[in-house]
A and B are shown apart, each in its own frame.
Chain A
Amino acid sequence: MSVELHVNPIACEAHGLCAELFPEGIVLDEWGYPIVDERPLPDELVEHARRAAAACPTLALKLRTSGRDGHRTRVQRAPRPIRSS
Chain B
Amino acid sequence: MTLTVPRPAIRRLTAGPAATLGDHLSVHGELPDMSGEALIDAVEGAGLRGRGGAAFPTARKLHAVAASNRSAIVVANAAEGEPMSAKDSRLLANAPHLVLDGAVLAARAVHADEVVLCIRESAVRAWEAVERAVAERDAAGELPVVARLVATPATYLAGEESALVRFLNGGPAKPTFIPPRPYERGVARRPTLVQNVETLAQVALIARHGAQWFRSAGTPEDPGTALLTLSGAVEKPGVYELELGAPLADAIAAAGGATEPIRALLVGGFFGSWVEDPEQAGTDLGLGAVALLPQSACPVAETARVAAYLARESAGQCGPCVNGLDAVAGALASVARGAPYAAVAADLERWRAIVPGRGACHHPDGAISFVTSALNVFAREFADHGRGGRCSRCSRPSVLPIPASSPIARAA
Instruction: Show the binding face of A for B, using Cβ within 8 Å.
Output: 8-14, 29, 31-33, 35
Choose among A9, A11, A12, A29 the residue with the greatest number of B CB atoms under 10 Å from its CB: A9
CB contact list, B317-335 vs A, under 8 A: 317-321, 323-324
Chain A residues whose C-beta falls within 8 Å of the C-beta of B176 in the assembled complex: 10
Q: Give, as a whole number of angstroms, the nearest-CB distance from A36 to chain B.
A: 9
How far apart are the CA atoms of A35 and B324 in the complex, in Å?
13
Q: Known contacts being A33-B358, A35-B358, is A10 close to B317, with CB within 8 Å?
A: yes
B177 and A9 contact, CB distance less than 8 A: yes
**What residues on B are CB-neighbors of A32 within 8 Å?**
319
Q: Contact: B359 with A9, CB < 8 Å? A: yes
- Flag whether B408 is at the interface (Cβ < 8 A): no
Interface residues of B (CB under 8 A from A): 176-177, 317-321, 323-324, 354, 358-360
* Contacting residues, chain B, for A13 (C-beta < 8 A): 319
A12 partner residues in chain B, CB cutoff 8 A: 318-319
* Contact partners of B324 in chain A: CB under 8 A: 31
Contact residue among A11, A14, A33, A35 (Cβ-Cβ distance under 8 Å from B177): A11
Is the pair B317, A33 in contact by a Cβ cutoff of 8 Å? no
How far apart are the CA atoms of A35 and B350 in the complex, in Å? 13
Which of A12, A29, A32, A35 has the most chain B CB atoms closer than 10 A to its own CB? A29
* Beta-carbon nearest neighbor of A6 in chain B: B177
Task: Please give, as numbers and ranges, the residues of chain A lying within 8 Å of B320 by CB-CB distance.
Answer: 9, 29, 31, 33
A33-B323 Cα distance, complex, nearest whole Å = 10
Subset of 26 A-B contacts with CB under 8 Å: A8-B177, A8-B360, A9-B177, A9-B319, A9-B320, A9-B321, A9-B359, A9-B360, A11-B177, A12-B318, A12-B319, A14-B319, A29-B320, A29-B323, A29-B354, A31-B319, A31-B320, A31-B323, A31-B324, A32-B319, A33-B319, A33-B320, A33-B323, A33-B358, A35-B354, A35-B358
CB of A9 to closest CB in B, whole Å? 4
Minimum distance in angstroms from B201 CB to a CB of chain A: 34
A17 CA / B358 CA spacing, docked (Å): 18
A22 to B321, CA, bound (A): 23
CB neighbours (8 Å) of B318 from chain A are 9-10, 12
Docked complex Cα distance between A9 and B320 (Å): 8
Residues of B within 8 A of A9 (CB): 177, 317-321, 358-360
CA gap between A29 and B324 in the complex, in Å: 10
B360 surroundings in chain A (CB, below 8 A): 8-10
Docked CA distance A11–B358 (Å): 12
Question: Complex formed: what's the CA distance from A35 to B358 in Å?
Answer: 8
A21: min CB distance to chain B, Å: 19
Interchain residue pairs A-B with the least CB separation, the first 7: A9-B318, A33-B319, A31-B323, A10-B317, A8-B177, A10-B177, A10-B360
A28–B359 CA distance with the chains assembled, in angstroms = 15
Q: How far is the CA of A14 from the CA of B324 in the complex (A)?
A: 14
* Bound CA span A84–B204, Å: 63
Q: Which residues of B contact A10 (CB under 8 A)?
A: 176-177, 317-318, 360
Q: Smallest CB-CB separation from B176: which chain A residue?
A: A10
Beyond A9-B319, A9-B360, 15 additional contacts (C-beta under 8 Å) are A8-B360, A9-B318, A9-B321, A9-B359, A10-B177, A10-B317, A11-B177, A12-B318, A29-B320, A29-B354, A31-B319, A31-B320, A32-B319, A33-B323, A35-B358
